[in-house]
A and B are shown apart, each in its own frame.
Chain A
Amino acid sequence: MAPQTTQDATTAAWVGIVIDTLKANKVEFVPYVPDKVLAPLIRQMAQDPFFTLLPVAREEEGLGIVTGAWMAGKRGIVLMQTSGFATLPNVLASLVVCYQIPALMLVSERGTMGDHQLGQALVCRTLRPILETLGIEHHTVQRLDEAEFIVDRTIRQAIATQAPACLILSPLLTNRPQGGAR
C-alpha cells in the first residue's frame, strides 16, 4: 500500500531503514513487547521471513532469548518502549553486561516531547541514567538522514566489542512535524 501522507512516508522510511540495516547485519531474532510507535515496524517484520519475531510477556525474557541465541551463534534485538526498558536493570547487570553479550535493544522513547502521561514522563527520565550507570553504549536516532549510519555502526560496534547497545528512537524521528496543519 502506498503511503497516504507525508507522515506515512516518514514512517515507511525509518521502518525500511531499520529493517534493511538489521538484515545487512544478520540480526534475525526479534523478541518484542509492543509499542504503538513500533507497530508499523513489527507489522512489517511479521511479513518478512528473514526475521523470527517472538512476542514475549516481559522484556527480560527477550534479553534471555537474545543472550542464548548469541551464545549459539545468532544475533537478535529486543524491541520495547521506555517503560519496558525500566524493568531491565537486574538482567542487564547480572547477565548481559557481566557475561559480555552484545545484546541489542531498540527502545521507542515515550514520555517526552508532549506525552500526556505523568507515569511515562517519569519513567522516561530513568532511561539514559540506567544505561550510563551500566556503561551501555546508547544512541538516539532523531533524523532520517542519520538513521542508517547510527543503527548500522551501533550494531557493528556492539558485536565487535562484545558489549550490549541500545538504540533509542526519538519522537523527532518517529513523529517529526512535517510542516503545515496536521
Chain B
Amino acid sequence: MIPVFGSSTRDEAKRLNRADLTRRLVARLRHDEAVIGGIGHTNFDLWASGQRPQNFYMLGSMGLAPSIALGVALAQPQRRVIALEGDGSMLMHLGALGTIAMAGVRNLIVVILDNGVYQITGGQPTLTSHGVDLVAIAKGAGIARAGWVADEAEFEAIVERALVEDGPWLIGVRTDDAAPEGVTDRDPVRIRERFMQGMGVRR
C-alpha cells in the first residue's frame, strides 16, 4: 500500500543512506530522465550510481541544482527532470523554490538530501539541525506536492508517483553521515558535453 505522501515529520523520517537511495532512484528511471546532482557528496553518489549520459554533475555554483533542473524542465517539457540537492545547498537558494512553484513545471522533481551537516567540510551543522524544515518552506513557497519520506519503501513509492503524476514535487529525505561511494571526475566540459548528448541536443 502506498502511504499518504507527507504524513511523516522530519523528526519521524528514518535516516537513509545517500548512495543506496540514489541507486534506488536511478534504478527507477526508464525514460532517459535528466538528473542534476548538486555540489559535493550529492553528486559523488550520483556518479557512483553509474554515469548515465542524462546525469549532470555540478562542480561549483552551490545551491543551483534546482535552478539548472528548472531550465532543463522548461526547455524539454516532455522529459522528467530530477534535482538532487543537499540541505546546505538548498538553504542558499530558498527563493528558487518560489520560482519553481511560480513556473508551474509539471515535470520537475526536487529531492532534498538532508543530513543536517556540511559533510564535505567537516560536518558542521546546517540550519536544518537547528529546526529549519525545508519541506515546510517548500510548501510555503507554493510547492503543494512536498513531503518527508518515512523510509526506503516510501521513497521508492513516491519516486514512482512523481515520475508519472504532475509536479512540481519536492521529496525530503533524511540521510545519514556515511561517506560517499565515489568521486566525480572534475572535467566540466566533458560533463556538459555528455549531458547534452544525453538530452539529445548533441550527437
Contact = CB atoms under 8 A, between A and B. Distances in A.
Given A61-B67, A91-B61, A54 B72 contact: no
Contact of B192 (A61, A69, A91, A100): A100
B71 A95 contact: no
B68 A68 contact: yes
Interface string A86-112: 000011011100111100000000000
Given A72-B201, A73-B199, A99-B191, A91 B75 contact: no
Interface SS of B by simple majority: helix
Contact of B64 (A29, A55, A60, A72): A60
A74 interface: yes
A95 B95 CA distance: 19
Contacts of A13: none
B103 A54 contact: yes
A72 to B, nearest CB: 4
Contact of B96 (A29, A61, A93): A61
A95 B189 CA distance: 10
What 4 A-B pairs are tightest by C-beta distance, nearest first? A94-B60, A68-B71, A57-B95, A64-B67
Interface of A: 29, 52, 54-58, 60-74, 76, 90-91, 93-95, 98-101
23 contacts: A29-B71, A54-B102, A57-B94, A57-B96, A58-B95, A60-B61, A60-B93, A61-B95, A61-B96, A62-B67, A64-B61, A69-B75, A71-B195, A71-B196, A72-B34, A72-B71, A72-B75, A72-B199, A73-B75, A90-B62, A93-B60, A99-B188, A101-B192
